């Protein structure tokens, strides 16, 4: 019989480290969270080779007192809690007391720290849970952790790490989420000497989203700020147009802690059902605050999971809030006219002439008068066949180029005076430039992303024309804060708007073109009709107000054993949708009536497809899913593409869209309507330069 022995402390430490330290990002997470708990306002994380060989975390927090430094590396030593009752009121990110002990067990760790009240700091070195050095040292306020050679004493763990680039990407993703979780802290992340992330710590969540995810996503966000009986939530959800093929863009923070929660993910994805296509996931950054007694944070050593009380109520409330936020907005995606790669974006001229434009016209005047810098350096040879201008000819030529208007001359003179008074450098572009274009919304979006400035450099010694250098500048975050969202009350699908619609015609016998105000709207007739039928049928199924159309003669089907079992299990739901089906002997069944909307479709294939959909459901699936499967059959009855409709049918379809909860997406998540601004169209035709 095997002998029972007590494991050595070294073995215990390495086993415990395996639960906390999975990869370099785990080390960064624990140390950065400790820095935040130490009330740091600035945290810098630096790694090399993906964090495998080197990790340095520096903060300006409260530091660790010299006598307590060795104690901090003992197992289950912490300043976050004192008793078991504190577990129900945890406000810090860490509390288990396992992080430093676990990291020191599998790496070479150096700590430099000083508290606010101490004159000198402490340098402490520990390797493989064994103390190496403990000395006094000069140091700034705060704490610096240096972790070298992760898993140096556990090669079996080290060989399972991925490449340095992949591990570095894990750390980068972690730092972005930590920055999002604490917008009041300035984070800096350096990877192999290159700064990958640097936040300001100005407490603006939207600035962080712009800095991390870019302009396109930031300009497509819907704000959320609601309080319920179980939690309060604020943050941003993305429009359906910024969906992704995975859940990497779903960010959840509870009481300042970044977590992964299947409950929250399912609630958000359920709310987006019908707005997104299958296997597409939304973008969201949600900050939830809830009573700490309703949470159990002591679930996993990495503290990435939580257990909720009232999970069912939280699921329903969050789903409802996000659904309401989506249905209150007009979600018609705009299709921009993209420019070719390398093509400079047009710059709308300001009311005041650009400095380089004034310079160009001055050069033309000088060239006509014969005193340009180029002509002075390289005078023309005698007898070269050139004609000297007649008296007054140069003046007449210049007058044709620039009409003599006193107001304009005065404006130019003032502008030239200002330019002479300013120090040499890049000419300034007026921030008050007004874009007078027809597509106001698109113009505002374009102004948000306008990050090109043009700088003229005149080279008089070579006579070359002025060159324009594009300079990258960061758009002001305030611009995207000023964007307005169209609601269901003032958008394209309202009774007042419909009266102003100008139906242009049908394109490819599939798409309807509608002009409204300064935009062109394109409606997919199949997707729109499909959504109308779907929502009508869902409403009837919920109210049990279905209508049937008799089939004469009945349609005879031969069902397999599995199909017969499905029919028996879901027979009640099938009859509720308007079907009447009876046994016809043996394996045959007779369809005597179908839902009224399905009268014009292939009844046999429709019913067999319905059975196939039901066969994929489990016995515990919610009745709502069964209703959706039944209602999704409306796709077959919808008007098809390449089918010509008259104007009256089109207007009737738009009228029916008005009454829908979500008229902007078909049941599969495809858009029913897209739009294009007049500004974008005129830009493509070079009417705007």
Q: Is the pLDDT of residue 348 over 50?
A: no
Distance CA 528, CA 639 (A): 9
DSSP secondary structure string for all residues of 133-181:
EEEEE---SEEEEEEESTTTT-HHHHTTS--HHHHHHHHHHHHHHHHHH
Tokens for 81, please give them.
């809690």
Query: Average pLDDT of 276-300?
Result: 82
Q: Is the pLDDT of residue 295 over 60?
A: yes
Long-range CB pairs of 402-407, under 8 A, 24+ apart, other chains included = 402/361
β 284-289/452-459 pair status:
unpaired
Q: Is the pLDDT of residue 589 over 80?
A: yes
Q: What is residue 52's predicted lDDT score, i.e. its pLDDT? A: 94
Q: Is the pLDDT of residue 449 over 90?
A: no
- The DSSP bridge partners found for residue 123 are 112, 135
Query: Average pLDDT of 183-188?
Result: 94
**Greatest CA span in the chain, whole angstroms?**
120
Give me the sign of the Cα torsion angle 637, 640, 643, 648.
Answer: positive
Q: What is residue 235's predicted lDDT score, i.e. its pLDDT? A: 93
Give 391 or 546, the one with higher predicted confidence.
Answer: 546
HSE of 108, CA atoms in CB hemisphere, 13 A: 9
Cβ-contact 467, 456 below 8 angstroms? yes
The set of residues, in sequence order, having a beta carbon less than 8 Å from that of 77 and lying 6+ positions away, is 71, 97, 101
Distance CA 668, CA 635 (A): 9
Summarised one tens digit per residue, pLDDT across range 653-688 is 888 888 888 888 888 788 899 998 888 888 888 888
Give 216 or 385, the one with higher predicted confidence.
Answer: 216
529 prior amide bond cis, ω within 30: no
What residue ranges of the chain are covered by domains with CATH 3.30.230.10? Answer: 205-327
What residue ranges of the chain are covered by domains with CATH 3.30.1540.20? Answer: 486-550+598-689
Tokens for 386, please give them.
């050139």
Distance CA 198, CA 58 (A): 14
Q: What is residue 616's predicted lDDT score, i.e. its pLDDT? A: 66
Query: Average pLDDT of 267-274?
Result: 89
Distance CA 621, CA 612 (A): 15
DSSP secondary structure string for all residues of 415-434:
HHHHHHHSPSSSPP--TT--
DSSP classification of residue 80: S
Q: What is residue 237's predicted lDDT score, i.e. its pLDDT? A: 93
Nearest to 179 by CA among 107, 249, 69, 256: 256
Q: Is the pLDDT of residue 382 over 60?
A: no
Q: What is residue 280's predicted lDDT score, i.e. its pLDDT? A: 87
Q: Is the pLDDT of residue 381 over 50?
A: no
- The DSSP bridge partners found for residue 452 are 472
DSSP classification of residue 66: G
Query: Average pLDDT of 181-202?
Result: 94
Cβ-contact 430, 418 below 8 angstroms? no
Give 375 or 186, the one with higher predicted confidence.
Answer: 186
* pTM of structure: 0.64
Residue 285 pLDDT class (50, 70, 90 cuts): very high
Residue 550 pLDDT class (50, 70, 90 cuts): confident
DSSP secondary structure string for all residues of 204-255:
-HHHHHHHHH-HHHHTTEEEEEEE-SS-EEEEEEE-GGG-BSSGGGEEEEET
Q: What is residue 373's predicted lDDT score, i.e. its pLDDT? A: 47
Q: What is residue 393's predicted lDDT score, i.e. its pLDDT? A: 47
Q: What is residue 196's predicted lDDT score, i.e. its pLDDT? A: 93
Q: Is the pLDDT of residue 428 over 60?
A: no
| b/e code 587-618 from CB counts within 10 Å (16+ = b) | eebbbbbbbebbeebebeebbeebbebbeeee
Distance of alpha carbon 438 from the chain centroid: 28
Summarised one tens digit per residue, pLDDT across range 469-494 is 333 333 444 444 434 456 666 688 88
Q: Is the pLDDT of residue 527 over 70?
A: yes
Summarised one tens digit per residue, pLDDT across range 120-139 is 999 999 998 889 999 999 99
Could you tell me what percent of the chain has a pLDDT over 90? 25
Distance CA 408, CA 392 (A): 22
Give 278 or 228, the one with higher predicted confidence.
Answer: 228
Distance CA 565, CA 619 (A): 12
Summarised one tens digit per residue, pLDDT across range 626-661 is 666 666 666 677 788 778 888 888 888 888 888 888
Q: What is residue 108's predicted lDDT score, i.e. its pLDDT? A: 94
Architecture of the domain defined by 205-327: 2-Layer Sandwich (3.30)
Give 260 or 194, the one with higher predicted confidence.
Answer: 194
Cβ-contact 50, 33 below 8 angstroms? no
Q: What is residue 330's predicted lDDT score, i.e. its pLDDT? A: 74
Range name among 101-110, 427-436, 474-483 with the lowest pLDDT average: 427-436
Give 411 or 457, the one with higher predicted confidence.
Answer: 411
Please provide the distance, in angstroms rounded to a whole number, between the alpha carbons at the two ends of the chain. 88
Q: What is residue 338's predicted lDDT score, i.e. its pLDDT? A: 61
Cβ-contact 44, 34 below 8 angstroms? no
Q: Residue 372: left if φ>0, alpha if ψ -120 to 50, beta else—which one? A: beta
Architecture of the domain defined by 486-550+598-689: 2-Layer Sandwich (3.30)
Summarised one tens digit per residue, pLDDT across range 302-337 is 666 777 888 888 999 999 999 888 887 777 877 776
- The DSSP bridge partners found for residue 471 are 453
Cβ-contact 623, 538 below 8 angstroms? no
Cβ-contact 33, 100 below 8 angstroms? no
Tokens for 370, please give them.
């014969």
Long-range CB pairs of 600-604, under 8 A, 24+ apart, other chains included = 600/637, 601/636, 601/637, 602/636, 603/551, 603/555, 604/555, 604/557
HSE of 293, CA atoms in CB hemisphere, 13 A: 1
What rounded mean pLDDT belongs to the chain? 75
Q: What is residue 437's predicted lDDT score, i.e. its pLDDT? A: 35
Distance CA 475, CA 452 (A): 10
HSE of 88, CA atoms in CB hemisphere, 13 A: 5
Give 604 or 317, the one with higher predicted confidence.
Answer: 317
Q: Is the pLDDT of residue 467 over 50?
A: no
Q: Which of 186-190, 537-541, 611-615 has the highest mean pLDDT?
A: 186-190
Let me know how long the chain is.
Answer: 689
Q: What is residue 477's predicted lDDT score, i.e. its pLDDT? A: 44
Q: What is residue 540's predicted lDDT score, i.e. its pLDDT? A: 76
Distance CA 369, CA 283 (A): 62
Long-range CB pairs of 112-115, under 8 A, 24+ apart, other chains included = 112/137, 112/139, 112/143, 112/144, 112/146, 113/63, 113/64, 113/69, 113/139, 113/142, 113/143, 113/144, 114/63, 114/139, 114/140, 114/141, 114/142, 115/62, 115/63, 115/64, 115/65, 115/141
Cβ-contact 682, 437 below 8 angstroms? yes
Q: Is the pLDDT of residue 94 over 80?
A: no
Summarised one tens digit per residue, pLDDT across range 206-219 is 999 998 988 888 98
What residue ranges of the chain are covered by domains with CATH 3.30.565.10? Answer: 9-198
Cβ-contact 542, 536 below 8 angstroms? no
Architecture of the domain defined by 9-198: 2-Layer Sandwich (3.30)
């Amino acid at each position: 019989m095997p002998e029972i022995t007590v494991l050595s402390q070294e073995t215990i430490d390495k086993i415990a480290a395996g639960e906390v330290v999975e990869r370099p990002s785990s080390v960064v997470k624990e140390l950065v969270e400790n820095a935040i708990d130490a009330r740091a306002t600035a945290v810098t994380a630096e790694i090399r080779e993906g964090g495998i060989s080197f990790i340095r975390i520096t903060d300006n927090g409260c530091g660790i007192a010299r006598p307590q430094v060795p104690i901090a590396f003992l197992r289950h030593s912490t300043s976050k809690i004192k008793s078991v009752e504190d577990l129900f009121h945890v406000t810090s990110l860490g509390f288990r007391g396992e992080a430093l002990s676990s990291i020191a067990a599998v790496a070479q760790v150096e700590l430099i720290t000083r508290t606010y009240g101490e004159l000198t700091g402490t340098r402490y070195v520990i390797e493989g849970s064994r103390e190496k050095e403990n000395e006094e040292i000069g140091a700034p306020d705060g704490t610096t952790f240096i972790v070298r050679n992760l898993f140096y004493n556990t090669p079996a763990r080290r060989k399972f790490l991925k490449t340095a680039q992949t591990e570095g990407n894990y750390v980068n993703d972690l730092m972005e989420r930590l920055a999002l979780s604490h917008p009041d802290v300035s984070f800096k992340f350096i990877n192999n000497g290159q700064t990958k992330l640097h936040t300001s710590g100005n407490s603006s969540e939207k600035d962080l989203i712009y800095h991390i995810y870019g302009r396109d996503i930031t300009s497509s966000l819907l704000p959320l700020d609601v309080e319920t009986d179980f939690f309060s939530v604020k943050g941003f959800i993305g429009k359906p147009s910024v969906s992704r093929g995975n859940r990497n863009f779903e960010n959840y923070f509870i009481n300042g802690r970044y977590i992964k929660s299947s409950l929250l993910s399912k609630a958000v994805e359920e709310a987006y059902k019908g707005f997104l296509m299958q296997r597409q996931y939304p973008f969201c950054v949600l900050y939830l605050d809830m009573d700490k007694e309703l949470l159990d944070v002591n679930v996993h050593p990495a503290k990435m999971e939580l257990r909720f009380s009232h999970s069912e109520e939280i699921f329903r409330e969050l789903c409802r809030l996000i659904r309401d936020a989506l249905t209150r907005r007009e979600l018609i995606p705009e299709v921009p006219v993209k420019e070719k790669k390398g093509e400079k974006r047009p710059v709308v001229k300001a009311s005041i002439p650009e400095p380089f434009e004034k310079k160009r016209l001055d050069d033309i005047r000088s060239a006509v008068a014969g005193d340009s810098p180029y002509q002075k350096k390289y005078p023309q040879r005698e007898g070269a066949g050139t004609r000297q201008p007649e008296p007054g000819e140069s003046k007449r030529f210049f007058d044709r180029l620039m009409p003599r208007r006193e107001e304009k001359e005065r404006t130019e003179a003032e502008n030239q005076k200002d330019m002479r008074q300013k120090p040499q450098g890049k000419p300034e572009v007026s921030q008050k430039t007004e874009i007078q274009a027809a597509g106001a919304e698109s113009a505002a979006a374009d102004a948000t992303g306008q990050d090109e400035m043009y700088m003229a450099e005149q080279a008089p010694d070579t006579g070359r024309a002025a060159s324009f250098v594009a300079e990258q500048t960061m758009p002001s975050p305030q611009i995207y804060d000023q964007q307005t969202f169209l609601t269901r009350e003032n958008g394209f699908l309202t009774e007042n708007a419909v009266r102003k619609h100008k139906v242009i015609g049908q394109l490819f016998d599939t798409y309807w073109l509608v002009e409204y105000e300064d935009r062109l709207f394109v409606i997919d007739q199949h997707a729109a009709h499909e959504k109308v039928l779907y929502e009508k049928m869902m409403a009837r199924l919920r109210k049990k107000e279905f209508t049937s159309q008799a089939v004469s003669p009945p349609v005879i089907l031969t069902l397999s054993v599995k199909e017969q079992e499905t029919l028996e299990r879901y027979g009640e739901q099938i009859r509720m949708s308007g079907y009447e089906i009876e046994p016809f002997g043996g394996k045959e069944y007779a369809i005597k009536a179908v839902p009224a909307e399905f009268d014009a479709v292939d009844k046999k294939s429709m019913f067999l497809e319905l059975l196939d959909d039901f066969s994929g459901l489990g016995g515990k699936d919610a009745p709502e899913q069964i209703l959706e499967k039944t209602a999704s059959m409306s796709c077959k009855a919808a008007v098809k593409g390449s089918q010509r409709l008259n104007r009256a049918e089109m207007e009737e379809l738009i009228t029916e869209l008005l009454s829908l909860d979500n008229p902007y997406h078909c049941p599969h998540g495809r858009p029913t309507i897209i739009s294009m601004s007049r500004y974008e169209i005129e830009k493509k035709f070079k009417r705007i330069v």
